[in-house]
Amino acid sequence: MAVETFWDGLERRIAAGEPPYGEHPGVAPDGVTPEALRRVLDLEAHHLRRSGTAPVAQHLLAGAVLAGEAALAGAARARLAAQGVPALTTRWRTRPPSAALSRVLEGHGDAVVALLAGPDGLLLSLDASGESGAWDTATGHAVPDPLAGPDGPRPPTSAARARTVALSPDGGLLALAGDAPGVRVLATDGPARGAEVTALAGSPGPVTALAVTGASPTRVLAGGADGAVRVWDATSGAAVSVAHGHVGPVTALTATGQGTVVSGGADGTLRSWDPASGAPLGLLEGGPAVVAVVVPTAGQLLAATADGALHVFALVDGVPQDAVRLEVPGDEVAVTAAARAGEGRVVVGRVDGTVQLVPTAGPGPVTELAGHGAAVRAVVADPAGTVVASGDDHGRVLVWDPARARPGTGGPAGVSPAVGAVAATGSLVVSAGRRSDGVLAHDPATGTRRWSVPAGAGPLWFDPSGTRLFAVTGTSTVEERYATTGVRAGAVSLPGRVLAGRGALVVTGEPDGTVAVRDARTGRAFRTTRLPSAPRVAAPTPGGATVLLAADGLLVCWRPASAKVSIVALPAGLVTAVAVDDDGCHGVVCDADGRVHVWRAGSATVTTVRADAAHLTAAAGAGRCRAVTAGSDGSAVLWDLTSATALGRVPLDAPLTAVAVGGGTVVVGDGCGEVH
């Protein structure tokens, strides 16, 4: 079969949601055996989704290289060239999946957004398109269910998609809601299995959070896009109460077990209510949006927020008090989901693909589960915490056995679950693990490892000659190493936190807003300035003539030689990265809402463009008024900063966590510990 005919047919089938093999599994492009094609299609099956066909050749190229199928790799490169998409040059993995991974459940065609653990090993799943699935976690087989039918995930039965689901503590009732007003309650066992028990009316718009209380009596709790919390009797359907208070959607909801309800909102507040009357009982004001609220043990509440933090409260008469922030590795990465995982423990999902088991009842190790190649969107555990499941952006559900997990990252010593920083020259790519667990150097053409050292977790950069590497250990120590061997040549401790480095310069920031440009070898300050608030990120030009700095709501252009400072306001959002072109005329800021803000330095306004469906994580200048950004959807995007337009997008297969440009090469690191 002609190569173009093969690709057209394959992409057409995937776009239509059909199996990639088509009616004739043996049909392959010229020069490729049917066996080789089937092998690579199986290897990359979880990436070949109906969300789009642009990544198809990219994924098959990666799979073919990994499988040693040169003919198919050549066909994929030809397709990418015809599409005008840059081909992935090299990819290497630095970490295997956790030993706790039991099963991978596939069948959803979109991101898994909700999971429920029912009785007898039943697992219910719901994706962003409204498709539902039910599984036996012991066998991995699809099973019949009120939502899913006998053959695994199926499309929704109406145009009003279900977005959120909740199960009663005894597993007998299932509540579901979403785009349409109201809540449906279904029976999950007995002769009436799958029958609608009642339909709950009263919500004027979409329902954004659900919970079901225990018996005597059973109540259904619903949080809405209008900021209200509504309570119904689950059996009769009678409305019990309505509570107003949140500004914006209710994003999390739980019954405390002490006769109260706690809700979290996009407004960053936690509110306590009397479910019988709707009367407010308590208010805690915070900052970032609340993602989840969980009761991990009696008398305790955990709230997860979008900035990655986990906060534990004591429940006093059902009202949260005395907040304590848990010290958890990787808590700078946004949380997407959290759930109870047995007595005194929660399971947490993050946007970089990390799944964590976190003890809340006392000191104990955090266990990390590695295996997702995309952002985690939903987590759940059975009541005893013996089975954990997580769903991701690729439509996969991973089932875990916590008893087989090892505390910590679960990987080999010196290997990271996520890449925290990368740097590149024409002959060397260097990456640092996010958990301070090693700096690795590889040949960019082959992926062959050159050297590794147990150091560094922060920014990485080369000196102007490319012969020395600077690596940040902790937050304020800069180590200088020989690029060819990794041997340390010197180190210096600096005041404040290292924000960025370039050439022989380093930029530091302090909590009071003081910023300095320093010699990376000696720490001597060349210039300092004071900003209204402490910056989160920085990017200097070569030679340090211009430094771009960003804090939440603030973008600053500093010219150290003249002491000139230009400040412009940014739209609200958590700033994650900044980059500047080589001449210091244009810059770009990324935020946690998936937006890029492009600025001509010194002008009064910024241009904001949506770049990622969820979360942008990294940016790097690419010369000639261009920059590259990377995000949780797995795409690296090249931008023209003069017009704020995307020049090209390379789709990859994991949430991206770091990016660098050097020697004519774009290098990205991802949440699975891979470097592309």
Residue 87 has pLDDT above 70, yes or no: no
Residue 523 has pLDDT above 90, yes or no: yes
Which helix H or strand E contains 8, and what residues bound it?
helix 3-15
pLDDT band with cut points at 50, 70 and 90 for residue 99: confident
Query: Which is higher by pLDDT, 119 or 460?
Result: 460
What number of other Cβ atoms are within 10 A of residue 237's Cβ? 16
Residue 293 has pLDDT above 90, yes or no: yes
Average pLDDT, the chain: 83
Residue 314 has pLDDT above 60, yes or no: yes
Q: What is the dihedral angle through the alpha carbons of 134, 213, 262, 363, rounded to the nearest 10 degrees? A: -70
pLDDT tens string 3-41:
777 778 777 777 776 666 554 545 777 778 877 777 677
DSSP result, 509-558:
E-TTSEEEEEETTT--EEEEEE-SS--SEEEEPGGGS-EEEEETTEEEEE
DSSP result, 332-375:
TSPEEEEEE-STTEEEEEETTS-EEEEE-SSS---EEE---SS-
Give percent of the chain above pLDDT 70. Answer: 86
pLDDT band with cut points at 50, 70 and 90 for residue 558: very high
Angle (nearest 5°) at CA 15 between 11 and 17: 120
Query: What tokens appear for 589 in the block?
Result: 């800021």
Q: What is the pLDDT of residue 506?
A: 96
Angle (nearest 5°) at CA 89 between 433 and 636: 65
* Cis peptide, bond prior to residue 651, ω within 30 of zero: no
CA 540 to chain centre: 27
CB neighbour list of residue 151: distance below 8 Å, 6 or more residues apart: 142
Residue 406 has pLDDT above 60, yes or no: yes
Q: How many CA atoms lie within 13 A of 290 on its CB side?
A: 33
Q: What's the rounded mean pLDDT across residues 515-520? A: 96
Q: What is the pLDDT of residue 66?
A: 55
Q: What is the dihedral angle through the alpha carbons of 265, 270, 273, 279, rounded to the nearest 10 degrees? A: -80
Task: Give first-to-last CA distance, the chain, whole Å.
Answer: 31
Pairing of the two strands 101-105 and 355-359 = unpaired
Looking at the DSSP assignment, which residues form a beta bridge with residue 610?
595
Residue 62 has pLDDT above 70, yes or no: no
Q: What's the rounded mean pLDDT across residues 295-314? A: 92
Q: What is the pLDDT of residue 65?
A: 61
CB neighbour list of residue 42: distance below 8 Å, 6 or more residues apart: none
CA R_g for the chain: 26
Q: What is the pLDDT of residue 562?
A: 92
Helix locations, 84-156, DSSP H: none
Query: What tokens appear for 119 in the block?
Result: 């009785």
Q: What's the rounded mean pLDDT across residues 613-641? A: 87
Number of H helices, E strands in the chain: 4, 55
Looking at the DSSP assignment, which residues form a beta bridge with residue 96?
none
Which helix H or strand E contains 81, and what residues bound it?
helix 70-83
Residue 98 has pLDDT above 80, yes or no: no
Q: Are 625 and 581 in contact (CB under 8 A)?
A: yes
Query: What tokens appear for 47 in the block?
Result: 């990436």
For the ranges 315-329, 494-508, 606-620, the maximum mean pLDDT occurs at 494-508
Interaxial angle between packed helices 3-15 and 56-67, expressed in degrees from 0 to 180 and rounded to the nearest 10: 120
Cα 605 to Cα 289, 385, 435, 558, 597: the distances in Å are 26, 51, 37, 16, 10
Q: Are 655 and 375 in contact (CB under 8 A)?
A: yes
Q: What is the pLDDT of residue 152?
A: 45
d(CA 372, CA 446): 25
Residue 467 has pLDDT above 70, yes or no: yes
Query: What tokens appear for 618 in the block?
Result: 């990294």
pLDDT tens string 199-234:
888 778 889 999 999 866 889 999 999 999 999 998
CB neighbour list of residue 330: distance below 8 Å, 6 or more residues apart: 308, 350, 352, 354, 356, 368, 418, 434, 435
User: Residue 449 corresponds to which amino acid?
Assistant: R
Q: What is the pLDDT of residue 67?
A: 60
Residue 444 has pLDDT above 70, yes or no: yes
Q: What is the pLDDT of residue 79?
A: 80
pLDDT tens string 243-257:
999 999 999 999 999
Q: What is the pLDDT of residue 81?
A: 79
Q: Where are the domains of the chain?
A: 3-88, 419-670
d(CA 471, CA 433): 11
State the residue for tokens 């190569």: 3
Q: What's the rounded mean pLDDT across residues 472-495? A: 92
- In three-state secondary structure terms, 159 is coil
- In three-state secondary structure terms, 396 is coil
pLDDT tens string 182-199:
888 888 776 666 677 788
Looking at CATH, the fold of the domain delimited by 419-670 is given as Methylamine Dehydrogenase; Chain H (2.130.10)
d(CA 13, CA 11): 5
For the ranges 53-57, 441-445, 519-523, the maximum mean pLDDT occurs at 519-523
Query: What tokens appear for 228 in the block?
Result: 């209200």
pLDDT tens string 366-391:
998 877 767 789 999 999 999 999 99
CB neighbour list of residue 401: distance below 8 Å, 6 or more residues apart: 100, 102, 386, 387, 388
Query: What tokens appear for 29 in the block?
Result: 């492009």
